[in-house]
Structure 1
């Protein structure tokens, strides 16, 4: 009898990579997997005879004298010579490279003779050249339920209905109270599904095993239709791995899911491929706690009609039979502690299929319920029709390190949508009439390229008036190209949040566009060539306490930064070059409008590009705004028409202090002046450092008294305090006279006419 080798998660070709050190000592090496590497096989660890009688396990055809690792470095399955249960492999043609033991995967022989070798290889990779190794000891198959064994009778021939045979193995594991079902290489036709998997089952497909859907329905479901396990008490402790699940959606076109899990705890689905699903999802985790989807490729989707929102990997709750059709109860149990990591979502190349509607996400909700602890990490998502990631009603979520290419939209996180009546209903069926907040969202270090914008923005965090998004961070992302007039980053109804250190290039709309922010920081972002503005903060319908700092905006089509309304906004240290590239003289470097109140504009640098369309002014403030303070901005050559267009009459402005006069510092009010709506000028602040009788600063035209005058000013900190004269002349000079002590208090007002 020939035994089967390779094609197993433990058999790889690798070489030592980066060193692992303890102090100055190298103790191990991180292994690098080697694709397309020739491996020869020998009868002994050294010397011995090369084994060349190798066969294809599917066809029985001879394979020659070596096996080549696949594109991931895995050694494909093969049959050894008759009666051989272990052999030695070498990643060299002549066997000169170090040889490592490989054990047949279909026997339960003792591993005593190779235990020392395997124990060493579990922790280290020697630094002596290329090698094959076993990353972990292959467990004995004693007690496994192999579906092709006579007890079950699956054929794997691609035409016989193997549903009953595989189900019999799964049923036997349930009877045993747990165990492993193994599916060898072959194609297994499922014509009377679904397959049903029960608690404490490990379903393991060989790498060349394909389970193919040949009739309508879900392919694999954890439990029976009539079961009634609420919460997370259903069939859990599951591992599903390996092989391919072919949903065959171009042939069997009815809506289905490949793998559907509900009311379960501790579920891992890994190292498998899911092909050509019609209508629904590759994997649904519904009402699941501690679920893991790892290294799964979901390739190919068929939209059976208005299903462009279907996710390859869906996170859902037990809301109703229309949301989860496998079984009840419908107790609104959400998902908790879910990881989707190192997966691929994209097209399969099968004629009649596309990529998915969405990559990872949710689209159902119940008021007062949240999915929590969702982590979407390090996935590659390509060509989706809508969002690559859609986090709907998630709390405590992390979306990081994903690569998103050519999708209809990038990443979307949203609080409950109150416009959907069924989502507003709580677990008792009562309509709450409102949204609810989502909290603690991290979107970091994602690469989003080539977004078509045909569905939405490059990145969007969306709350609403009755359901803000709180304590979110959007940091370190790269958004390169967003079409169809969409924004690079869009944030709405955001509280206590940070949008920082992102790069947005070539957005069809605004680089960073926001609506109704409170206690939000937008900082250190780099925004290049947006068709709209660089940064917009629209707080006309609410919002306050916003910091826009140290951003760089190059060649914005509209304004570099545009603030609309709101209270207490700071624009600090931004660099804006080449604004209004879309239309000459139509926009500004910085634009403050729409009744904005209490705005500090300080330390910004604004420049024209020097050719092409340019901004009219470097800084423009409309007459509806008030309490505008600005100082130390570099606006030289910032607008074609002029540097500053300020139509406000009620703002505090910091004057330029001269003759060694400086602000007193600390917590003391700095020197400022303003003119209120009645035309009266006010001066305030505390200064020191200059000499009595010298000009401290000069008020600009329009802010000067009709004649010279003097007022009394405090000039020391004694008790009672000393006084001096503060002279304000018609030419605008402000001159402290006969000062005593260490400072001069400025407190004066006068009419200009």
Structure 2
């Protein structure tokens, strides 16, 4: 892009939104640190010895959030056995020591912010949450269940400084119909694609409240609420000592006509050896992808409208529209993509004639030792969208 050419005002607005997300997170951190605080192992049912089930006692502590109008639970070092999912209430700070391990021994998610009988809609569900620290061991293949963290219909959530490991299928984190979310300084290590059946699965998936087939955990009203104001930064994604890497590190794979995930920021992450894309922006708009390092992945960064397939192009009343969503405003700058390329391009922008991509700016990206295409751009509205 010519040095004299100025970026549209929308990117200045996105920068301000990023500052707003940061301010919201800081406020939430200060609020919940001063909430009613308890040490988990003070509860008689929480032993952290690797033998007894700790989930019942932990859940009793989590339920105190309703009565105390907020709770801060501190988990000392130890091995916490979870024989049932944990359910978060609003205004909960779940703080684990770096030497805490939570090991799943059941066939469901590890942590959810809803119950099956809930009827959550829009962003009015169980929010104001901080999940910090510890190693969360999904323990696959001994136990199935796919996705570890399920967060839906909520706002104001921080997930930070934790390790999510040893998955089989599913996602590490499902973000569904949420806004004002930060995922930062986490590690996502080890994934089994179940014999090639889940090569597309994301470690962090952004999804919308579309239908039971894409959100099978119950508790949600399928009102087509999307994700907004999401910042994923300073995380690492890759293989573990016993399993390979993810299908995709961050992305989406379902959509609804005339609905978008908006104001999505993916910055300063390291993504290694994904089977498909490192990042797949699928029916997203107003997006910043900055300073990510992508190493030996099948593909790099993909910017795609939703498919016209009778499923992803249906509207909120489940009527096929026969067209994809127009997508716009992508700032893709200073990303490094090295090695890999056996699946697709290093950077791919793929619009179509009916719904072209507008306002896509690529600048300062570096591609090296890549076996696939470097940059592939189709279906853009004007030459400015092709500025590198």
Provide TM-score, normalisation by structure 1.
0.46
Question: 1:309 maps to which residue?
Answer: 200
DSSP 3-state at the match of 2:41: coil
Q: Following superposition of structure 1 onto structure 2, how do residues 213-252 of structure 1 map, counting pairs within 5 Å?
A: 213-252=104-143
Matched, 1:147 2:147: no
Equivalent in 158, 167, 170 of residue 62 of structure 2: 170
Counterpart for residue 267 of structure 1: 157
Deviations, residues 655-682 of structure 1 (Å, cap 9, x unaligned): xxxxxxxxxxxxxxxxxxxxxxxxxxxx
Higher helix share: 2
Counterpart for residue 397 of structure 1: 287
Match for residue 474 of structure 1? 362
Q: Kindly tell me the number of residue pairs found equivalent between the two proteins.
A: 357
Q: Is the 8 A contact 2:33 2:93 kept in 1?
A: no
Find 2:337's aligned residue among 434, 445, 448. 448
Cross-structure match for 2:17: none
What is the aligned counterpart of 1:489 among 334, 351, 375? 375
**Mapped pair 1:382 → 2:272:** yes
1:329 corresponds in structure 2 to 221
Q: CA RMSD in A?
A: 1.8
**Is contact 1:416–1:467 with CA below 8 Å preserved after alignment?**
no
1:283-333 residue CA offsets vs partner (Å, 9 max, x unmatched): 111100101101110000111251111111111111112212222111110
d(CA) in 2 for partners of 1:143 and 1:477?
Answer: 47
Kindly indicate whether structure 1 or structure 2 has the higher relative contact order, using CA contacts under 8 Å at least 6 residues apart. Answer: 2
Compute the displacement of 1:140 (Å).
Answer: 8.2
Partner residue, 1:295: 185
Per the TM alignment, residue 382 of structure 1 is displaced from its structure 2 partner at its CA by 0.3
What is the CA-CA distance between 1:475 and the residue it aligns to? 1.1
The answer to whether structure 1 residue 364 and structure 2 residue 254 are counterparts is yes
How big is the shift at 1:209?
0.7
Q: Report how far residue 263 of structure 1 moved.
A: 0.2
Gapped runs of 5+ residues in structure 1? Answer: 1-135, 499-519, 524-753
Report if the CA contact (8 A) 1:173-1:181 is conserved.
no
Cα distance between partner residues in 1 of 2:36 and 2:72: 8
Matched, 1:212 2:103: yes
Q: Contact 1:471/1:497 (CA < 8 Å) preserved in 2?
A: no
| SS class of match (1:364) | coil
The separation in 2 between residues aligned to 1:236 and 1:521, in whole angstroms, is: 39
Q: What is the deviation of 1:282?
A: 0.9
Contact 1:146–1:169, Cα closer than 8 Å, also in 2: no
- Structure 1: distance between partners of 2:330 and 2:34: 44
Residue in structure 1 matched with residue 11 of structure 2 by the alignment: none
| Distance change >3 Å, CA 142–CA 292, structure 1 → 2 | closer
Deviation at 1:174, TM superposition (A): 2.5
Q: 1:201 aligns with which of 70, 77, 92?
A: 92
> Which of residues 331, 334, 347 in structure 1 aligns to 2:239?
347
Compared CA separation, residues 274 and 477, structure 1 to 2 (3 A): same
| Cα distance in 2 between the residues matched to 1:187 and 1:496 | 56
Query: In structure 1, how many angstroms separate the alpha carbons of the residues matched to 2:187 and 2:230?
Result: 17
Is this contact kept in 1: 2:360–2:386, CA < 8 A?
no
Verify the 8 A CA contact 2:178 2:226 in the aligned structure 1: yes
For 1:7, the equivalent position in structure 2 comes to none
Aligned partners of 1:343 and 1:378: how far apart in 2? 7
Aligned partners of 1:328 and 1:140: how far apart in 2? 29
Judged with a 3 Å threshold, the aligned counterparts in structure 2 of structure 1 residues 173 and 456 are, in CA distance, closer, same or farther, namely same
Unaligned runs of 5+ in 2: 1-28
Give the superposition deviation at 1:231.
0.3
- Residues 521, 334 of structure 1: CA spacing in aligned structure 2 closer, same or farther, 3 A cutoff? closer
Q: Taking structure 2 as the reference length, what is the TM-score of the superposition? A: 0.89
Q: Give secondary structure in 2 for the equivalent of 1:148.
A: helix
SS in structure 1 opposite 2:329? strand
Query: CA offset at residue 521 of structure 1?
Result: 5.0
Report Cα offsets for 1:594-614 as digits up to 9, x if no partner. xxxxxxxxxxxxxxxxxxxxx
Residues 140 and 339 from structure 1, CA distance in 2 versus in 1: closer, same or farther, beyond 3 angstroms?
Answer: closer
**CA offset digits 1:258-282 (Å, max 9, x no partner):** 1110000101101111111111111
Separation of aligned partners in 2, 1:257 and 1:216: 10
